[in-house]
Structure 1
C-alpha cells in the first residue's frame, strides 16, 4: 500500500493536535482545581453539580434570613425586658401609694413618676427596628402602632398579625410580636379581677361613671373552680336606702347578651339581699369577695376574668387609671374608697401584665434557641453540599499530575515522531 507524504503530514499533525488538546485539558484542570471544567467533560456530574450548587445557594439564603430573624428577635427580647422592668417599677410605686400615711401631695408626686414610666412604655411600644419599621404593629409597620386619641387615651392602630420570616425550607417563624399580644393580653392562667366600675347592659364599662359610695373590696378569691358558674362575668349592684342597703348579683349572659339575675338555687337569694356595711363576704360562681363600707344605690362592682369581653386587658388603661386616681385628692370617704379600689385593681392588672410580658419574652427566647438549632442543622447541610460538590467536580491532584506527565510525554513523542517521519525522504539519497 502506498502512503503519500501528504497522508503522513496530515496524520502527524492530527496526532500532535490531539496530544496538545489532551495536554491543554489536563493543564486547565490543574490550573482551575476542577475535574469538570466544561459540562462536556462529564455531563452527568455537571448536571448534578448544578443542582447541588443551587441547593447550596438556597441554604446560604436561609442562613442570611436567620441572621435577620435573630436580629429582630434579639431586639424584641431586649425591649420586652425593658417593658417588664417598667411594669415592676410601676407596681412598686403603686404599693408605695397604697400607704394610708401618704398625703395628697405625696400621691401626686408618685403620679408624676408613673407618668414618666407611662411615657417610657409608649416609647417602647412604638420601637422600630434597624430598617425603620415598627416592631409591634404587625404588618402595619409603617406608622406608630400606639397613638393617643382625642381624649388622651392610647389606641392600637396596628393589626393582630406577627411578621414572619422563613428561616428554613420547612419553618416559617414569627420574628416579632404585635402590640395586642404584649400590651392588651393576659396569660392563659390569669384569674378574676374586681373593679369598682359601672357597666351597661352590653357588659362594657360606662366611661366617666364612678361609684359615689365608700364600699371597698378585697379579692376575689377562687373557692371552687368546679362551680357551674365559674368562668362567667359578674357584677354586684347596690340598691335599697342609706339605712337599709341591699345588693344583687348579676351574671352576664353572652347569648342574650345582657346582665341577668344570678339565681343558681332558684330562690332569689342573690337579689335585693340585705347588705351589712360593717363587712360582707359574698360567694358566687366559685368566687369569694369581701366588701366593706357604705354603698349608694346604683353603685356597682364588676368581677370578671382579666382579658374577658367584659374586662379586656390593657396595660395603658391600667396606668391611666392609676395616674388619674393618684392625681385626685382623696378627702371624702367615697374618694378614699375609689383610691383604694383603683389601686387594688391596678396592682392585679400589673401582675397579669407582667406575667404576660414575661410569657411573650420567654417565647422570643425559645425562638432564639430554635434559631441556634436550625443554624447547626444548616451548617451541617452546607458541609454535606460542599463535600458532594467536591466529589463531583473537584480535581484529584495526584491523578492529575500523573496524567499531566503522561500527556506531556505523549505530546513530546508525537512531536519527535513527526520530526523523524519528516526526514524520511528519497531526496536525501539522490
Structure 2
C-alpha cells in the first residue's frame, strides 16, 4: 500500500484538530463549572436536568407568590387588629352611656366620640393594599367596598368571595377576607338577640323595655316576635318558620301584666324566655332572633349607627328613654358578637401566616434537593477535570511534535 505525503499531512492535521477540540471542551467545562455544557456531552443527564431546572423555577415562582400573600395577610391582620380595638372602645363607650347618672349632654359627647370610632372603622373597611386594590372587596377590588347611601346606611358593594392566591402547587390560599365576613357576620356560636323595633323599621311608640333573652333549651330555640294587640293589654307571639311568621297556637291574646308599677312579666317561648316591663302601645313589637340569621342579619355599621342615633337625641320622655335603653342593650350584644367574629377572622389570618412559614420551610428543602440533583447531573468534578485537562495538553503537544517530525521527512534523506 502506498501512502502519499498528502495522506500523512491530512491524518496529522485531523489528529491535532481532534486533540485541540477535546482540550477546548474540557477548558470550557472548567470555565463554566459544568460537566454538561452541551446536550451532546451527556444527553440523558441534560434531559433530566431540564426537568429538574423547570421544577426548581416553578418552586421559586411560588416563593415569590408567598411573599405577596404574606404582605397581604400581614396587612389584613393589622387592620383587623385595629378594628377589634375600635369595637372594644365602642363597647366601653356604650357601657359608659348606659349609666343613669349621665345627662343628655354627656351622652351627646359620647355620641360624638362614637362617631369618630365609626368613621375609623369605615376607613379601615375601605383600606387598600400597596397596589391600590381594596383589601376587603373580594374580587371586586377596584371600588370601595363600603359606601354610605343615605337612610340605607353603609352598603357593602364588594362580592362574597375571598381573594385567593396559589402559594404552592397544591395550595390555593385566601389572602384577603371579604368585607361581609368581617363586618357583616357573626361567629357560628352567636346566640339570640332581642330588639325593640317594628317589622317595617319604625320605632315602638310605648315604653316597654326588655331583659334577655335567656336560653333554657338550645335545641328548641327559634326566632319569634311579640306584637301587642289593640288594645295593648294583650299580645300575640309569632314564630318564624323559615319563610314567614306564623302565630303560635294558643298565644294570640296573652294578657300583659308588665305595665303595673314595679312589675315585670317573663314570657317563655320554646327554649327561651324574655322579660318585659313598661307600658306598650298597640302595634309595638319585640323581636328575638338568632344573630346573623335570616330574620336579623349582622351589620357592625348598622349597630354603630343605631347607638349614635339614640345618644344624639335627648331622652326627655319615657318612650325615648325606653328606646335608648333597649337600643344600647341590643348594640352591646351586637358588638360582643362582632368582636368575637373579628377575632375569629384575625385568628384565621394568623393561622394562614403560620402556614406560609411551614410552606416556606418545605419549599426551601425542596429547592435544596433540586439544587443537589442538578449538581449531581451537570456539575463538574474539578479534580477529575483538571487531571483530564493536563492529559489533553500532553496529547496536544505530542500531536504537534509528531506533525513537525513527519513534515520534515523526505526520501532524499535515505539516498
Q: TM-score range by the shorter chain?
A: over 0.9
**Hey, what's the Cα distance between the residues in 1 that align with 2:355 and 2:106?**
48
| 1:203 aligned residue | none
- Per-residue CA deviation, residues 267-300 of structure 1 (Å, 9 max, x unaligned), is x1x2211111220011112012111111111111
Displacement after TM superposition at 1:426 (Å): 2.2
Displacement after TM superposition at 1:258 (Å): 2.3
- Per-residue CA deviation, residues 234-289 of structure 1 (Å, 9 max, x unaligned), is 001112536xx1122110122xx3221112xxxx1x22111112200111120121
Report how many aligned residue pairs link the two structures.
411
- Per-residue CA deviation, residues 139-175 of structure 1 (Å, 9 max, x unaligned), is 1111100001132610011110111100011111110
Structure 2 residue 377 is the aligned partner of structure 1 residue 392: yes
Q: Is the deviation greater in 319-328 or in 420-429?
A: 420-429
| Structure 2 SS opposite 1:389 | helix
Structure 2 residue 316 is the aligned partner of structure 1 residue 340: no
Structure 2 residue 98 is the aligned partner of structure 1 residue 113: no
- Per-residue CA deviation, residues 118-145 of structure 1 (Å, 9 max, x unaligned), is 0000000000000000000011111100
Structure 2 residue 248 is the aligned partner of structure 1 residue 262: yes
Confirm or deny: 8 A CA contact 2:73 2:353 kept in the other structure: yes
Displacement after TM superposition at 1:344 (Å): 0.1
| Structure 2 SS opposite 1:307 | coil
| 1:55 aligned residue | 55
Normalized against structure 2, the TM-score is what? Answer: 0.97
| 2:171 aligned residue | 171
| 2:254 aligned residue | 273
| Structure 2 SS opposite 1:226 | helix
Confirm or deny: 8 A CA contact 2:35 2:380 kept in the other structure: yes
**Hey, what's the Cα distance between the residues in 2 that align with 1:150 and 1:224?**
41
**Hey, what's the Cα distance between the residues in 1 that align with 2:231 and 2:141?**
55
**Hey, what's the Cα distance between the residues in 1 that align with 2:295 and 2:121?**
25
Structure 1 segments unaligned to the other structure (5+ residues)? 200-205
Displacement after TM superposition at 1:429 (Å): 4.9
Confirm or deny: 8 A CA contact 2:66 2:356 kept in the other structure: yes
Confirm or deny: 8 A CA contact 2:230 2:283 kept in the other structure: no
**Hey, what's the Cα distance between the residues in 1 that align with 2:313 and 2:6?**
118
| 2:302 aligned residue | 317
- Per-residue CA deviation, residues 196-242 of structure 1 (Å, 9 max, x unaligned), is 0111xxxxxx13x1111111111111101232xx2x21001112536
Cα 1:287–1:152 change in 2 (3 A) is: closer
| 2:227 aligned residue | 237
Normalized against structure 1, the TM-score is what? Answer: 0.94
| Structure 2 SS opposite 1:187 | coil
Displacement after TM superposition at 1:424 (Å): 2.4
Structure 2 segments unaligned to the other structure (5+ residues)? none
- Per-residue CA deviation, residues 66-119 of structure 1 (Å, 9 max, x unaligned), is 000000000000000000000000000000000000000000000000000000
* Cα root mean square deviation, aligned: 1.1
| 1:202 aligned residue | none
**Hey, what's the Cα distance between the residues in 1 that align with 2:179 and 2:248?**
36
Displacement after TM superposition at 1:2 (Å): 2.6
Displacement after TM superposition at 1:48 (Å): 1.1
